[in-house]
Amino acid sequence: MFSRFLLPCLLILLPTFVEAAMVEERVKHVHEGISFESVLIYEDTVTIARPAVLMVPNWMGVTPQAIAQARQVAGSAYVVLVADLYGEGVRPKNPVEAQQAATFVRSDRLLMRARANNALDALLAAGQKVGVDATRTAAIGFCFGGGAVLELARSGRKLGGVVSFHGNLDTPNPADAAQIKGSVLVLHGADDPYVPESQVQAFAAEMKAQPQLDWQLVQLGGAVHSFTDPEANTPGRAQYHARSAQRAFAWMGQFFAEIFKQ
């Protein structure tokens, strides 16, 4: 789904990987009696310990497209878990179902944080057998997932950093930013109608209120919502923007190099 822009820029920043060696494993985990099924992605020929990256996909959840994207992110450098925050039996088939599933989780931020933390626990547990370095962790997310990883950071979970791609920036309690323990990178379409300027300014104020935080907010000119998604094609609202997508993934690669000290 994302290979036409993601692979070229990541090859500049990450070690080359052998496609045939990439492994996909279903990882089941349980939270409050609900079963979830995430997908672990890694290259099985790597012998050194790698950082662990939690990836929360967009509102469609764990899809073949999200898994393909995670394979590109993982390469030989990282072990990635495509996180299921909806539940094993919840797999949206269309935007209407996706909106229902995402709204259910987003309407309860404590639930969102708890499920994201549970998924990260699952990543670290499953990653033990494939050589995860538990001292080097990060979380990335897209749209719904971008907001989710920001809430994960606000929950106080120890992470090297989080990256939000065109995610929601609002939160019920901005003071929770005091609990963030890692770096924050927000990649935002400057013309995103779903995340208005008032929300962007509120997020900046939230970050500025915590002078100890290492944070960056990058606004990409000409980009709207879902600018990294080649299948997004609603002009002026949610639309792929090749230049911004390439730059955003390059920023992610540099961010990882910094927080993981590669």
Average of pLDDT values for 2-22? 50
**Token pair of 149, please?**
């990883």
Phi-psi region of 68 (alpha: psi -120 to 50; beta: other; left: phi over 0): alpha
| Under 8 Å between Cβ of 232 and 239 | yes
pLDDT value at residue 19: 47
| Under 8 Å between Cβ of 186 and 139 | no
pLDDT value at residue 6: 53
pLDDT value at residue 8: 45
Q: How confident is the model at residue 17 (pLDDT cuts 50, 70, 90)?
A: very low
| Under 8 Å between Cβ of 28 and 37 | yes
**b (16+ CB within 10 A) / e for 155-179:** bebebbbbbbbbbbbbbeebebbee
Kindly tell me if the per-residue pLDDT of 9 is higher than 60. no
Q: How confident is the model at residue 103 (pLDDT cuts 50, 70, 90)?
A: very high
Kindly tell me if the per-residue pLDDT of 98 is higher than 70. yes
pLDDT value at residue 220: 97
Average of pLDDT values for 229-254? 95
Q: How confident is the model at residue 47 (pLDDT cuts 50, 70, 90)?
A: confident
Residue 21, CB-side half-sphere exposure with 13 Å CA sphere:
15
- Per the model's pLDDT, the better-predicted residue between 5 and 256 turns out to be 256
pLDDT value at residue 21: 85
Question: How many independent structural domains does the chain possess?
Answer: 1
pLDDT value at residue 180: 98
pLDDT value at residue 262: 58
Kindly tell me if the per-residue pLDDT of 100 is higher than 60. yes
CATH of the domain at 213: 3.40.50.1820
- The percent of residues above 70 in pLDDT, for the chain, comes to 92
Kindly tell me if the per-residue pLDDT of 16 is higher than 60. no
Its domain, for residue 245, covers 3-259
Kindly tell me if the per-residue pLDDT of 3 is higher than 70. no
The residue ranges of DSSP E strands in 72-150, in sequence order, are: 79-82, 132-142
pLDDT value at residue 1: 45
Strand order in the sheet with 132-142: 22-31, 34-43, 79-82, 50-56, 132-142, 161-165, 183-189, 215-220
**Per-residue model confidence as pLDDT tens digits over 191-211:** 999 999 999 999 999 999 999
**Per-residue model confidence as pLDDT tens digits over 118-177:** 999 999 999 998 989 999 999 999 999 999 999 999 999 999 999 999 999 999 999 999
